[in-house]
């Protein structure tokens, strides 16, 4: 394995380009960076196509590549690793792997206790990462996202999910209409979180169920709300007008998993 020392090297340029979500999606891959994120990914069953390291982590890179058939091992000097990194202080470890996000049919678990979190145009990476972590903690069947939701493999999303991104099934849909049709076809009741809904603590909810959380600024679209079977709100006695999207997702998710 030769040491790459030029920032103009084609492989360096290619890896650096994957921080652009459009490029990564077009290539069908995700760039994972940092010790914790790489370890979480490998522990979650991710099979890397490339393992990238600085000189200090040569042994780690060789070990990972030798354990994964067809995995390319790339060694970079400090300057080159900084070029492919999005962090101020790179940890010298990165992976490139196939993107796990999938599209297609919703699969139910078979026990009638499915719970899905549905996200409409969520934009904040920290919120999405937290929501993925919630779905993992409460053992949801999956997360469904609209095409306009932030890339679930954005570097900030991966870090804030604390490894949950590799354990949660994430399905991408063109829009909420497509998502709702797919859920209704499977007999799943759909819940809208919105300020004019019924009190969540008193709502009659049966599983399988899915609940929608809307965009941080705009909330859920009216056409989405109109198609949902149940509308609920989280009762608040204080003066805040609303909750953070991830906070709302956590509270509703907890209530639903208690129904199990």
Residue 41: give its domain's CATH number. Answer: 3.30.1330.30
Per the domain annotation, does 81 fall within a domain? yes
68 and 138 inside one domain = no
How many domains in the chain?
Answer: 2
48 and 165 inside one domain = no
179 and 248 inside one domain = yes
Per the domain annotation, does 205 fall within a domain? yes
133 and 224 inside one domain = yes
pLDDT in tens, 49-95: 999 999 999 999 999 999 999 999 999 999 999 999 988 899 999 99
pLDDT in tens, 86-140: 888 999 999 999 987 676 689 999 999 999 999 999 999 999 999 999 999 999 9
Residue 1 has pLDDT above 80, yes or no: no
Per the domain annotation, does 106 fall within a domain? no
**Percentage of the chain lying above the pLDDT 70 cut:** 98
Per the domain annotation, does 232 fall within a domain? yes
The Cα 176–Cα 122 span in angstroms is 12
206 and 242 inside one domain = yes
119 and 234 inside one domain = yes
What's the pLDDT at 239?
83
The Cα 4–Cα 134 span in angstroms is 40
Per the domain annotation, does 24 fall within a domain? yes
92 and 130 inside one domain = no
What residues make up the domain containing 161? 115-259
pLDDT in tens, 213-239: 999 988 899 999 999 999 999 888 888
Residue where one domain finishes, among candidates 52, 70, 98: 98
132 and 192 inside one domain = yes
For residues 90 and 33, the answer to whether their CB atoms sit within 8 Å is yes
For position 255, which CATH number holds?
3.40.1280.10
Residue 22 has pLDDT above 90, yes or no: no
161 and 92 inside one domain = no
Per the domain annotation, does 104 fall within a domain? no
Residue where one domain finishes, among candidates 70, 98, 126: 98
Nearest to 120 by CA among 157, 68, 83, 175: 175
133 and 235 inside one domain = yes
Per the domain annotation, does 154 fall within a domain? yes
Per the domain annotation, does 103 fall within a domain? no
187 and 247 inside one domain = yes
Residue where one domain finishes, among candidates 47, 63, 98: 98
What's the pLDDT at 101?
65
User: Would you tell me the crossing angle of helices 125-137 and 245-259 to the nearest 10 degrees?
Assistant: 10
71 and 150 inside one domain = no
């Amino acid at each position: 394995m030769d040491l790459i020392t030029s920032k103009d090297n084609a492989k360096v340029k290619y890896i650096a380009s994957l921080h652009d979500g459009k490029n990564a999606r077009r290539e069908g891959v995700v760039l994972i960076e940092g010790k914790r994120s790489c370890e979480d990914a490998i522990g979650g069953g991710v099979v890397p196509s490339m393992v990238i390291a600085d000189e200090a982590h040569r042994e780690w890179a060789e070990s990972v590549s030798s354990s994964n058939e067809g995995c390319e091992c790339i060694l970079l000097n400090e300057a080159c690793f900084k070029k492919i990194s999005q962090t101020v202080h790179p940890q010298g470890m990165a992976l490139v792997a196939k993107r796990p996000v999938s599209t297609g049919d919703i699969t139910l678990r078979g026990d009638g206790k499915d719970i899905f979190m549905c996200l409409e145009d969520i934009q904040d990476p920290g919120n999405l990462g937290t929501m993925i972590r919630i779905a993992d903690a409460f053992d949801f069947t999956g997360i469904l996202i609209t095409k306009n939701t932030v890339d679930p493999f954005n570097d900030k999303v991966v870090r804030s999910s604390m490894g949950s991104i590799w354990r949660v099934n994430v399905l991408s849909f063109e829009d909420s209409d497509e998502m709702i049709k797919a859920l209704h076809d499977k007999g799943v009741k759909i819940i809208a979180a919105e300020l004019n809904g019924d009190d969540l603590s008193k709502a009659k909810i049966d599983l399988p169920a899915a609940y929608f959380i809307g965009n941080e600024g705009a909330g859920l679209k009216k056409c989405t709300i109109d198609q949902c079977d149940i509308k609920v709100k989280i009762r608040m006695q204080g003066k805040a007008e609303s909750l953070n999207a991830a906070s709302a997702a956590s509270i509703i998710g907890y209530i639903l998993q208690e129904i199990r």
